[in-house]
Amino acid sequence: MGDSTRLWWRFWRILGTRGYAIYGRWQKAEKLLDPEDVAAGYIARFRRSPLAKIVRSREPAHPAIVSVETFTAVQLEKRKRRIGGVAGWSSRSRQRISTKRTYELRGRIRCGICDRKMEGAARRQEVKYYRCNARTLVPESATALAHPPQIYLREDLVTPAIYRWIGELFGPLNRQVTIDLLLAADDSSARRDERVAQLRDRVVAADVVMGRLQRALAAGWDPAALREQYNAAVAEKWVAETGITRMAHETWRSSRGRATSKGS
Residue 259 has pLDDT above 80, yes or no: no
pLDDT at res. 8:
45
Burial class (CB in 10 A: 0-12, 13-18, 19+), 112: exposed
Task: Give the Cβ contact number of residue 132 at 10 Å.
Answer: 26
**Dist CA 141 CA 118 (whole Å):** 19
How confident is the model over 171-183, as a mean pLDDT? 84
CA dihedral 139, 144, 146, 150 (to 10 degrees): -120
pLDDT at res. 11:
47
**Dist CA 218 CA 230 (whole Å):** 14
Q: What is the largest CA-CA distance in the chain?
A: 97
What one-character-per-residue DSSP string does 95-106 give?
PP---SS--TTT
Burial class (CB in 10 A: 0-12, 13-18, 19+), 117: middle
Give phi and psi for 58, each to the nearest 5: -75, -35
pLDDT in tens, 67-76: 777 877 787 7
**Dist CA 189 CA 195 (whole Å):** 10
Residue 193 has pLDDT above 50, yes or no: yes
Report residue 188's pLDDT band, with 50, 70 and 90 as the boundaries: low
Residue 3 has pLDDT above 70, yes or no: no
Instruction: Give the residue with greater pLDDT, 64 vs 245.
Output: 245
pLDDT at res. 16:
46
pLDDT in tens, 81-121: 666 555 555 555 555 555 677 888 888 889 988 888 888 88
Is the pTM above the cut of 0.75? Answer: no
Exposure string of 54-66, with b = 16+ CB inside 10 Å and e = fewer, is bebbeebeeeeee
- Range of 188-202, 208-222, 242-256 with top mean pLDDT: 208-222
pLDDT at res. 173:
87
pLDDT at res. 164:
92
pLDDT at res. 96:
57
- Range of 51-60, 77-86, 122-131, 199-208 with top mean pLDDT: 199-208
